[in-house]
Amino acid sequence: MRIFKEALLLLAIYAGVAAGVFGVWRLWPESKTQNKGGSHEDASLLDRAEGKVRELLRREVTADAIDEASVKEGLRKIQDRLTPALGTLAFPLEIYVVDSGTVNAVCLPGNIILVYAGLLRRLQSPEELAAILAHEIAHATHRDPMQALKRELGLAALFAMVGGRSDGVTGQLMRRLVSTGFSRQQELAADEEALRVLGAADIDPKTLGDALGRLRGDKKDDPGVLQYISTHPGFDERVQLSEKASANWPGKARPIDLDWKQFRAQFRLIR
Ligand SMILES: [Zn+2]
């Protein structure tokens, strides 16, 4: 039931985004979209599209995300710790918790990050949540979601032209985009950046491996966990990378000032 609700939420988000993006796409002059030499121009078009996507996403996400002040405050504390270590981002970073038992975290276009309460409930410290967030933020830094959306929409636009209406097809394509996640190479690059950010933010890089271990723990009797694992391949390799980064880390860990038990206990709807 929860998984169904979640699928509906993602579909709603992506149907809304796709509708908006198709509008943007049609506004682009043909000569510009086909200008392969103008990478500067392409980049600016992509920026504009991402701005539009972000607007649409925010509307959908804020309607479904948990709105409690104490939840936002906890997230802000973690984000504040990471921010000085982050590179330049094209759009402000926004993190939301969705009250769903699903064990997953997603980086959407426009630097919007969703953490599902099911994942959050499994973590044992604010630093572990910071580690999962650092990985998702790295996808935003690398602009992976928008590149993926651009790739998928090329195909979707064809379907739309052929079929006249695109709703059903677009929904399927968007769902595939979410369930497939990024390439192994993109995942490893995101981990590398996350480990750098964690170290620079006075969080032991091995915390990422610890967090991943919690998510893997009881996967056999929990189909929800498989979602994170299937969209984030190479678990053992990732844990090893994290341990290696920790061994070479010259820094000293400084705890994040957040009562984790109290923070986590707010998500009571989840088992
Ligand atoms: Zn990832």
- In the chain, the number of structural domains is 1
* Ligand 1 centre distance from Cα of residue 135 (Å): 6
- Calpha distance 258→80 (Å, rounded): 12
Looking at the whole model, is its pTM more than 0.85? no
Q: Is residue 237 situated within a structural domain?
A: yes
Residue type for 97, please? V
| Helix intervals (H) in 112-183 | 117-122, 126-141, 144-163, 167-180
CA 132 / ligand 1 centre spacing (Å): 9
**Cα 35 to middle of ligand 1, angstroms:** 31
SS3 105: strand
For residue 225, being part of any structural domain is answered with yes
Give the chain's mean pLDDT: 77
Query: Both tokens of residue 178?
Result: 């979410």
- Residue 145 CA to ligand 1 centre (angstroms): 10
CA of 191 to the centre of ligand 1 (A): 8
Residue 127: pLDDT band (50, 70, 90) is very high
Q: How far is the CA of 182 from the centre of ligand 1 (A)?
A: 7
Give the pair of three-digit tokens for residue 36.
């392969």
How large a percentage of the chain has pLDDT more than 90? 39
pLDDT score, position 58: 83
Give the number of other Cβ atoms within 10 Å of residue 165's Cβ.
9
269 within a domain of the structure (yes/no): no
Residues 264 and 122 sit within 8 Å (Cβ to Cβ): no
What DSSP element (H or E) covers 98?
strand 94-98
Q: Is residue 152 part of a domain?
A: yes
pLDDT band (50, 70, 90) for residue 96: very high
Phi, psi angle pair for 94, to nearest 5°: -130, 130
How many other C-beta atoms lie within 10 A of the C-beta of residue 233?
14
Distance from residue 139's CA to the centre of ligand 1 (Å): 7
Residue 178 lies in a domain: yes
Which tokens sit at 221?
């009797």
In a domain, 270, yes or no: no
CB 28 within 8 A of CB 45: yes
118: domain range? 2-264
Q: Give CA–CA dist 189/192, Å, rounded.
A: 5
Q: Is the pLDDT of residue 181 over 90?
A: no
Distance 189 CA to ligand 1 centre (A): 9
Residue 100 lies in a domain: yes
Is 271 domain-assigned?
A: no
